[in-house]
Amino acid sequence: MTARRRPRWAELRPLLRTRGVHLNATDRRLAEVASIPDLRRLARRRAPRAVFDYADGAAGEEIALLRSRQAYARVEFQPTVLADVSAVDTSMTILGRRSELPLVFAPTGFTRMMHTEGETAVARVAARAGIPYALSTMGTTSIEAFAAAADGRRWFQLYLWRDREASRDFVVRAQEAGYEALVLTVDTPVAGARLRDVRNGLTIPPSLSLRTITEGALHPAWWFDLLTTEPLEFASLTRFEGTIAELVGKMFDPAATIDDLAWLRSVWDGPLVVKGIQTVADARSVVSAGADAVVVSNHGGRQLDRAPTPLEVLPAVVESVGDRAEVYVDGGILSGGDVVAAVAFGARAALVGRAYLYGLMAGGERGVQRTADILRNEIAGTLALLGLSRVSDVGLEHVRLRGA
């Protein structure tokens, strides 16, 4: 039997035109995308190397990132057959409210560098998908502009700055703008050694050099977009020029302790999520200090190389604090199957960052929408093939780690 070949764009174009469908170049590129790795490859072609590497890379030798991805590759599902999966419910309750997927769009810094539609594009997609999205302190859209972009579930991610009054100001602004939850990231006392950024000479904002001029010739659409839209800068900072490591060293507080979490709990009365938990002991500590949820995370491998692998730590954290706080996970998640696996190992939701950044680089808001559609379809398909009609029914009985 001859294998069926997927139609190419040149073959589909006449048919689409007869039906009144006209796709532009971005739509045509995205129509060829079938997975998040496909989006990654497209993003690599569309964005300058330094920009792509900023999103794609990790710290040191990138061992922590590799291990996170390998952990999901080791997952083996245990399906049940002859089960009614004619209707599949992918929704999950997150912080007491329905989310259409067990998924959160994670906070990412300097998002408009990937594409100038930036955080507002991601916010609109998240609202349509019915999932939360967290704006980063290091974002390129202001707290207020982000809130106005879409009527979705808005979370605000906070770093503890040396200037506590600046941190307090962010909290007050988030409250006044109607943000649902505060996400405190706790794994950045200093900057991780992101060697790709060093080798690429990445600065914020991107500086003109022989290398960037050459990249501009190879990626004219990206540079035209950058140079003809509003300036690329951090929305929550006064103007800054330099490397990410210099920025972290100047602004972030390496002296922060658990007492600062208690202080934050006293000034924020909404749900408080602590992101960057890598041990059971720390999970217990932050929950006792007032966290409503924790994210088992090694910052996508971008801080401490050889850090614990989140998926492997997740079950122990859930067993320890899952009766007192919600537990989420991130790192290495590039498919809907990965999301289902994370839920099976105890996560209430998975956070993804790189996945939607690939979409953003590949095609702006439409690329992010493609990310959301792919993940939604893969989550539903994985559940159906597992013989489950609800994502909330996934548990440890449905997975095992090969070689564990």
Report the SS3 class of residue 192: coil
- 219 in catalytic set: no
Q: Within 10 Å of residue 98's Cβ, how many Cβ atoms?
A: 10
Report the SS3 class of residue 29: helix
Catalytic residue among 115, 219, 299, 398: 299
Whether residue 63 contacts residue 305, with contact meaning beta carbons closer than 8 Å, is answered with: yes
Whether residue 89 contacts residue 325, with contact meaning beta carbons closer than 8 Å, is answered with: no
Tokens of 259: 């007492």
Residue 241 burial (C-beta neighbours within 10 Å; 0-12, 13-18, 19+)? exposed
The Cα–Cα gap between 21 and 259 comes to 58
> Could you give the count of Cα atoms lying within 13 Å of 317 in the half-sphere of its Cβ?
33
* b/e sequence 168-190, b meaning 16+ C-beta within 10 Å: eebbebbbebebbbbbbbbbbee
Angle value at C-alpha 315, between 289 and 70, nearest 5 degrees:
120
The Cα–Cα gap between 248 and 254 comes to 10
Q: Are strands 326-330 and 133-135 parallel, antiparallel or unpaired?
A: unpaired
| 254 backbone φψ class: left, alpha, beta (φ>0; ψ -120 to 50) | alpha
* b/e sequence 131-159, b meaning 16+ C-beta within 10 Å: bbbbbbbbbbbbbebbbebbebbbbbbbb
Q: Within its chain, how far is the Cα of 167 from the centroid?
A: 22
The Cα–Cα gap between 214 and 106 comes to 32
Distances (CA, A) of 256 to 164, 172, 320: 10, 20, 24
- 161 forms bridges with which residues in the sheet? 252
**Annotated catalytic sites, by residue?**
299
